[in-house]
Amino acid sequence: MKTFRTRLTLILMSLIGISMLAAGLSMVRVFKDSHIRALEENLVREISLLEYTFSFRPLDNSPLMVEYYTREAKELEQRINSRVTFIALDGQVVGDSEKNAADMDNHLNREEIVSASQGEFGSVIRHSETLHEDMLYVAHKVYSEEGFDGYIRLSMSLNAIDEGLNRGWAWMAGGLVILFLAAGLLSYRIAGGLTKPLEHITRVANRISRLDYDARVKLHRKDEIGQLGFAINGMADSLQQQLKWIRDNEDLMQSVLANMTGGIVMVDAASQIALVNREAERILHMRADQLLGKPFTVLKRNYEFMKFMEEGIQRKEYLQEERNVYDPEERMLHFDGVPMSEDDGSYRGMLFLLQDVTDIRRLERMRSEFVANVSHELKTPIAAVKGFAETLLAGGVKDTETMRSFLQIIYDEADRLNRLIGDILELSKIESKRAPLEYAPIHLKELLDSVVEVLLPAANKKSIVLLQDVPEHLFIEADEDRLRQIFLNLISNAISYTLEGGRVRIAAEVLNEGGEHEAIRFTVSDTGIGIPKKDLPRIFERFYRVDKARSRGSGGTGLGLSIVKHLVDLHRGTIRVESKVGEGTSFILELPLMHPIE
């Protein structure tokens, strides 16, 4: 394929060649015409000179007359280098320098003679039948007093002119070839100057088509090519901005999809998976590269979801459903299927949303259980109070001691109901964080002494020994009221579940002393009945009791350890329990020594 530069060079060379050829032809034509005109003028002058200097003789048709004019014509030809012909008024040739006059035709109808008969110089170029070459003929009518009344005709061969023209053509052809080569080189350079910017623009355009939007046309011209380069740069800027906008939107969409708490799976009109986000990969336990571009049936491992997708694709309408799946543990998943359509309403595919609602449903179940437990716990003391009050009101009890016993039961149950309601309100307040902690330095030995002093009467009733192993110098930054509540619950629980003559020990020690994360470990241990291993994971749940009868008999509400767990979490600490049935239980707390300023 010829390049534009080559084609432009050929066009310029062709135009220059045609122009030079036309100029050469015009020059040859002008040269020939001017040369012939010069010859003609020269012949006219020579005829005029002969008209006044030649010795004419009468035209009497005698042989001597013909001989005279023939001889003179030949002499004149040698002098003026032109063929000379004397012609009578009737057209009869009376003398010629090249041919015998008697053998020549009548010249009265010759074009130059016809023109000369009108009083002008007759001139014509004609092929001579006598000499067999092109000749220039010039004739003029002459009248002499010596008796000559006719025409003098001079003629000259044009071979000399043709030879001159041929030599001129040869020189001109050589010059044209040289000029043509020079014009070709000049044309190539001119074409290069015109096409080089276009080639640069083409290279830039090709780079842009290969997504290299940083490519720019570097031309500083104000002509059309410069405007083209400016337009391409503007197009590249626009494409770069649009691509940045598209990439930013794509990154934003990918970020949104990747950080969504729900899984998304998009299926196109051909039932091929077109989009999967990170949460969907986690829920389905499959990577995106295992799913994208493949039919939705590749999810056969997730059979419940695959059947839901199949139903949605068949019906092409909004669906939602919750199903239990086992992969391998049991989970509750919420599925949504939303049909997608183009602007013209044609079907485009289905968008499926997956939400793991296992925790939500568990919380709902816990809430239901909590409401049921609260109802049960409230109903028990109320029923007792109501029963004994009805008995007393009916007057069925006359014995003062029995009546006092009934009133004591009513009082105890009312007190228990009051404590239960108080614990519920306290737990609600802690969970909702309506009462923020007020941190302050606390002397632990002094705090624990005050707690032991409160609980000592209950311990003495059961002959339980309360021991402390707390360094005298130990301080902690915490909310004093909440920390007191923690130890009151733990130590009272230990006393409640320890048999008579047992022992309850409270110990404290510093962890990572001098380090970045300095903390204090508290241990509240007893020699009580212990907790079965199967009950340990649920020990901090609300209303959960290991021994329900014993717990209710001890006056507990079932919310103490749940309150302790929430208060420890608020202090950014941890709590765990270790226990052996028949040997005792230990609650181990770790609380940070200092809290960062927020």
* Tens digit of each residue's pLDDT (9 = 90 or more) over 361-396: 777 776 666 666 666 566 666 777 777 777 777 776
Q: Distance from CA of residue 348 to its chain's centroid? A: 23
In angstroms, the CA 562 to CA 539 distance is: 8
**Higher pLDDT among residues 451 and 218, named by residue:** 451
**Tokens (6 digits) for 140:** 């003029």
Within 13 Å of residue 165, how many CA atoms lie on the same side as its CB?
18
Check residue 97 and report its DSSP letter.
S
**Tokens (6 digits) for 222:** 């104000």
Give strand ranges (E) for 327-482. Answer: 330-341, 347-356, 440-443, 465-469, 475-478
In angstroms, the CA 453 to CA 471 distance is: 18
Check residue 464 and report its DSSP letter.
P
Residue corresponding to tokens 């998943």: 333
4-164 homologous superfamily: PAS domain (3.30.450.20)
**Tokens (6 digits) for 295:** 């039919």
437-592 homologous superfamily: Histidine kinase-like ATPase, C-terminal domain (3.30.565.10)
Q: Distance from CA of residue 1 to its chain's centroid? A: 35
23-32, 114-123, 330-339: the lowest-pLDDT one:
23-32
User: What's the distance, Cα to Cα, between the start and end of the chain in Å?
Assistant: 76
Q: Please provide the average confidence, as pLDDT, over all residues in the chain.
A: 80
**Higher pLDDT among residues 342 and 13, named by residue:** 342
35-39, 94-98, 268-272, 425-429: the lowest-pLDDT one:
425-429
Sort strands 519-526 and 475-478 into parallel, antiparallel or unpaired.
unpaired
44-53, 333-342, 455-464, 526-535: the lowest-pLDDT one:
44-53
Q: Which CATH number fits domain 261-356: 1.10.8.10, 3.40.250.10, 3.30.450.20, 1.10.10.10?
A: 3.30.450.20
Check residue 272 and report its DSSP letter.
B
For residues 288 and 266, the answer to whether their CB atoms sit within 8 Å is no
Distances (CA, A) of 274 to 120, 183, 260, 340, 353: 105, 64, 17, 13, 14
**Higher pLDDT among residues 517 and 501, named by residue:** 501
- The residues of the chain that CATH labels 3.30.565.10 are 437-592
- The residues of the chain that CATH labels 3.30.450.20 are 4-164, 261-356
Among 11-25, 180-194, 325-339, 503-517, which range has the highest average pLDDT?
A: 503-517
Note the pTM of the prediction, 2 decimals: 0.44
Whether the predicted pLDDT of 163 surpasses 80? no
Q: Cis peptide leading into 537, omega within 30 of 0?
A: no
Binned at pLDDT 50, 70 and 90, residue 598 comes out as: low
* Tens digit of each residue's pLDDT (9 = 90 or more) over 246-261: 888 888 887 887 787 7
Among 546-555, 562-571, 589-598, which range has the highest average pLDDT?
A: 562-571
Torsional class of 295: left (φ above 0), alpha (ψ -120 to 50), beta (otherwise): beta
Whether the predicted pLDDT of 553 surpasses 50? no
**Rounded mean pLDDT of 164-169?**
71
Neighbour count for residue 567 (Cβ, 10 Å): 24
Q: 362-429, what's its fold?
A: Helix Hairpins (1.10.287)
Whether the predicted pLDDT of 157 surpasses 60? yes
Whether the predicted pLDDT of 505 surpasses 90? yes
**Rounded mean pLDDT of 265-290?**
85
**Higher pLDDT among residues 557 and 329, named by residue:** 329
**Rounded mean pLDDT of 178-191?**
73
